[in-house]
Amino acid sequence: MAARSARERAYAPFSKFKVGAAVEDDGGKIYTGCNVENATYGLTICAERVAVFKAISEGASQLVRVAVVADTPELTPPCGACRQILWEFCGDAELILANLAGASERLRMSQIFPRPFDKSFL
């Protein structure tokens, strides 16, 4: 899985919490991201946002699937900031959560982000 491989490139010297993410566009192309920490923590960026921003910067327009992998016993969902970005660029996409032990779960973004703020409110 691309997200699992991306996790290995995470820069997490402070928290040791490595996360990998992958997003897939409607043409089947995969874009990956990993979390990148900063000593100030406020400048840290999550794997999900790296993957989305990479996809957008490389010309992707419709993202249809998201995968997130962390080394945790309980599957780790995207944080609030990532949920907002994922909704903005992926809508009600399929979300796959997985860990290194092989556990996984498939959801829709609307299941973890039931009342998103989007352009309809502007």
> Are the C-beta atoms of residues 49 and 9 closer than 8 Å to each other?
no
48 is catalytic: yes
Q: What is the DSSP letter of 71?
A: S
Distance CA(110)–CA(6), nearest Å, equals 25
- Which residues pair with residue 62 across a beta bridge? none
Pairing of strands 94-99, 63-70: parallel
Which of 37, 48, 88, 94 is labelled catalytic? Answer: 48
> Are the C-beta atoms of residues 53 and 31 closer than 8 Å to each other?
no
Active site residues: 48
